[in-house]
C-alpha cells in the first residue's frame, strides 16, 4: 500500500521533533507528581501494581496517534504519470526510385537496387510519425504506394519493387512528376521527395526541370541522389540463352548537373552515393535534416494515502481513551 510513496508537504515532519520532547516532559512531570512513603516492611500488604507500572503506555499510544496525524498532514501520495504525444509538424515523403536495368549493376553489394532497398527500409522504420509513399520509374513511372502512415504496407511494397515492371530507360522527369502528383494535395506542413537515379534522363514526355517547377509551385522540397561508383561498373548488357543477365563493364553516367539543379530549385540538396556505406550515410543525413516536431503532454494522477493514517490515529486514540476510562480509571 505504501510503495512508491511521495509526500506533498514534507515540511510537517519537523513536528515529529516535538514527540521526544513531549515524552521527556511527561516522565519528568509524572516523577514530580508521585508521592513517596517510607515504611520498614510491606509484609502483610497485598498490592498488585502492574496497572500503575504500565500506565505510561497510555501516553505512548497518544504520541503514536499524534505521529500518525503528522504523517497524514505531510500528505503521502502515489504518482501515476501518463504521456501523450502530438505531432505538431507532420512530414509527407515520397521516395522516387529508379528501377531501370542499370540498377542491377554490382558496384554496390549485392547490386544497386538491393542495396537501396535495405537502406530505404531503415529510413522508413525511423520515420514512425510521417506518411510515406513510393514511386517507381524507368522508361515510364507509376505509383507503387500512395502516401500512408502504415509502415508495414510501405515496407512490403518496397521489397516488391523490381526491374522488369516497366519499359527500360530513365525518365527522371516522369518519376519526379508522379511523385509531385502524389504530394500536391497533401495538407502536411512539410512535403519532401527523395529522388534516386543512376543514369541520364533519356525517356518520358515530361522534362525534369518542368517537373521541378511543379514541385516548387506546390512547395515540395526535393533531395536528389546520384547512385553509382566513379568510373566503370559491372552492369547487365544482354540476356543469356537461359534468360539470365550477361554482365559487362560500362561507364557510369549520372546527370549530376541536372540533379543538382532540381535540388537547388526546390530547396533540397544533391548527394552522390558511390558505395553502400555512403548511401547509408546519405539517408541518415536526410533523416536528420527532416525532423518531425513532436510535442509531448504529461498527465499526473495523484492518489492520496493519508486516510489509513487518520484511521490508525483514531483507533489508537479510541483505544487509549477506552483503557483510561476502564482498566486504568482508578490510577488516574
Q: Report pTM.
A: 0.65
Nearest to 116 by CA among 61, 196, 180: 196
- Domains of the chain by start residue, with CATH: 6-36+48-81+301-331 (no CATH), 91-291 (3.40.50.410)
User: Could you read off the pLDDT of 50-108 as tens digits, one per residue?
Assistant: 555 666 677 788 888 888 888 888 888 887 777 665 555 679 999 999 999 999 999 99
Phi/psi for 211 (5° steps) reads -65, -35
pLDDT band at 47 (very low <50, low <70, confident <90, very high): very low
Burial 51-70 (b: 16+ CB within 10 A, else e): eeeebeebeebbbbbbbbbb
Q: Which triple of cell numbers denotes residue 137? A: 520509374
User: Could you read off the pLDDT of 284-309 as tens digits, one per residue?
Assistant: 999 988 876 655 567 777 788 888 88
Q: Which triple of cell numbers denotes residue 223? A: 533531395
245 CB-contact burial (10 Å; exposed 0-12 / middle 13-18 / buried 19+):
middle
* Distance separating alpha carbons of residues 270 and 262, to the nearest angstrom: 8
User: Could you read off the pLDDT of 195-236 as tens digits, one per residue?
Assistant: 999 999 999 999 999 999 999 999 999 999 999 988 888 888
Q: Which triple of cell numbers denotes residue 215? A: 514541385
**Average pLDDT for the chain:** 85
Count of alpha carbons within 13 Å of 11, Cβ hemisphere only? 1
Cα dihedral 305, 310, 315, 317 in deg (nearest 10)? 150
Helix (H, G, I), strand (E, B) or coil at 15: helix
Instruction: Say if residues 205 and 174 touch (Cβ distance below 8 Å).
Output: yes
Who has greater pLDDT, 197 or 25? 197
Amino acid at each position: 500500500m505504501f510503495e512508491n510513496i511521495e509526500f506533498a508537504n514534507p515540511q510537517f515532519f519537523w513536528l515529529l521533533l516535538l514527540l521526544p520532547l513531549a515524552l521527556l516532559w511527561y516522565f519528568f512531570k509524572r516523577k514530580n507528581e508521585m508521592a513517596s512513603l517510607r515504611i520498614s516492611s510491606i509484609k502483610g500488604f497485598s498490592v498488585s501494581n502492574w496497572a500503575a507500572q504500565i500506565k505510561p503506555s497510555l501516553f505512548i499510544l497518544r504520541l503514536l496517534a499524534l505521529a500518525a496525524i503528522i504523517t497524514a498532514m505531510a500528505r503521502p501520495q502515489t504518482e501515476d504519470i501518463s504521456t501523450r504525444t502530438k505531432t505538431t509538424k507532420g512530414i509527407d515523403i515520397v521516395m522516387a526510385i529508379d528501377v531501370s536495368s542499370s540498377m542491377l549493376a554490382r558496384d554496390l553489394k549485392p547490386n544497386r537496387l538491393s542495396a537501396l532497398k535495405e537502406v530505404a527500409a531503415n529510413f522508413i522504420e525511423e520515420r514512425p510519425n510521417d506518411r510515406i509513399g513510393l514511386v517507381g520509374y524507368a522508361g515510364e513511372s507509376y505509383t507503387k504506394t500512395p502516401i500512408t502512415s502504415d509502415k508495414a504496407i510501405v515496407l512490403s511494397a518496397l521489397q516488391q519493387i523490381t526491374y522488369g515492371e516497366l519499359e527500360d530507360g530513365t525518365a527522371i522527369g516522369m518519376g519526379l512528376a508522379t511523385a509531385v502528383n502524389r504530394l500536391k494535395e497533401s495538407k502536411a506542413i512539410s512535403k519532401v521527395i527523395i529522388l534516386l537515379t543512376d543514369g541520364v534522363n533519356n525517356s518520358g514526355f515530361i522534362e525534369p526541370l518542368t517537373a521541378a517547377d511543379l514541385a516548387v509551385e506546390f512547395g515540395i522540397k526535393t533531395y536528389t541522389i546520384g547512385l553509382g561508383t566513379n568510373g566503370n561498373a559491372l552492369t547487365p548488357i544482354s540476356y543469356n540463352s537461359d534468360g539470365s543477365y550477361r554482365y559487362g563493364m560500362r561507364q557510369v553516367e549520372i546527370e549530376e548537373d541536372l540533379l543538382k539543379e532540381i535540388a537547388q530549385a526546390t530547396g533540397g540538396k544533391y548527394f552522390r552515393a558511390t558505395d553502400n556505406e555512403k548511401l547509408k550515410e546519405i539517408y541518415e543525413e536526410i533523416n536528420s535534416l527532416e525532423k518531425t516536431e513532436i510535442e509531448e503532454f504529461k498527465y499526473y494522477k495523484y492518489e492520496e494515502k493519508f486516510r489509513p493514517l487518520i484511521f490508525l490515529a483514531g483507533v489508537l486514540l479510541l483505544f487509549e481513551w477506552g483503557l483510561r476510562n476502564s482498566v486504568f480509571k482508578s490510577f488516574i
